[in-house]
Chain A
Amino acid sequence: EPEVTQTPSHQVTQMGQEVILRCVPISNHLYFYWYRQILGQKVEFLVSFYNNEISEKSEIFDDQFSVERPDGSNFTLKIRSTKLEDSAMYFCASSVTGGATDTQYFGPGTRLTVL
């Protein structure tokens, strides 16, 4: 069964460094998402992406964040200058149509630790 994959599974970085988290969505899906979960808190929506553009973003997704689909398979989240509070589990998801009732398929997550 097709699945969303994410790399790396764990990333450790120093404060102020740039990180790129990678995701490979399911191949026939058109909508892509990033979520994060800070330890002990709820899962939070960051951004949705369709047709090579951001379609929605939350207040969390400020100028430090960017997303890109650099080729036909990868979907990346870049954090330009990491802060301690960026430490979290980051999940990528994809869906076929992006509709409210469409199932989003999640990847296993990347745990980001900012020191």
Chain B
Amino acid sequence: ILNVEQSPQSLHVQEGDSTNFTCSFPSSNFYALHWYRWETAKSPEALFVMTLNGDEKKKGRISATLNTKEGYSYLYIKGSQPEDSATYLCALLYYGQNFVFGPGTRLSVLP
């Protein structure tokens, strides 16, 4: 079974800092990569769906890129705000498997 890893496991940044974290995967044989934002005690919220090498998606201050050749996707947050504090999950739908989730990156933005 193919795995998904995320780094770092957790991250503390000051309000206003920009930050990024990584989802890495061993194979490019997947249909789609999904990013989710998950605040404590709430439902995971879909951020982006990425499929093609070189994909770049943006939603406000958050953006994501996909590099299937090198096996990673980056999530960037520009000018972090306290409300960005959450766990960010990536999940891949590999060929022949169901969704495989990474362990998440827990982001804390300090005011």
Contacts and interface: CB of A to CB of B under 8 A. Distances in A.
Interface in A45-102: 45, 48, 56, 58, 91, 100-101
Contact of B42 (A41, A58, A108): A108
Contacts of B103: 41-42
B89 A3 contact: no
Nearest to A104: B46
Instruction: Tell me what chain A mostly uses at the interface: helix, strand, loop, or mixed.
Output: loop
A18 interface: no
A contact residues, range: 20 to 34
Contacts of A41: 103
B102 A42 contact: yes
State the main secondary structure of chain B at its contact with A. Answer: strand
B51 interface: yes
Interface string A13-54: 000000000000000000000010000011111001000000
Interface stretch (B20-28, B58-66, B68-76, B91-99): B91-99
Contact of B32 (A3, A48, A101, A109): A101
Given A3-B43, A44-B101, A106-B44, A100 B91 contact: no
Contacts of A58: 98
A43 B93 contact: no
Nearest to B101: A43
A93 B98 CA distance: 14
B43 A56 contact: no
A106 B31 contact: no
Contacts of B49: 101, 103
Contacts of A4: 43
Given A3-B43, A100-B31, A108-B42, A43 B91 contact: yes
A110 B32 CA distance: 27
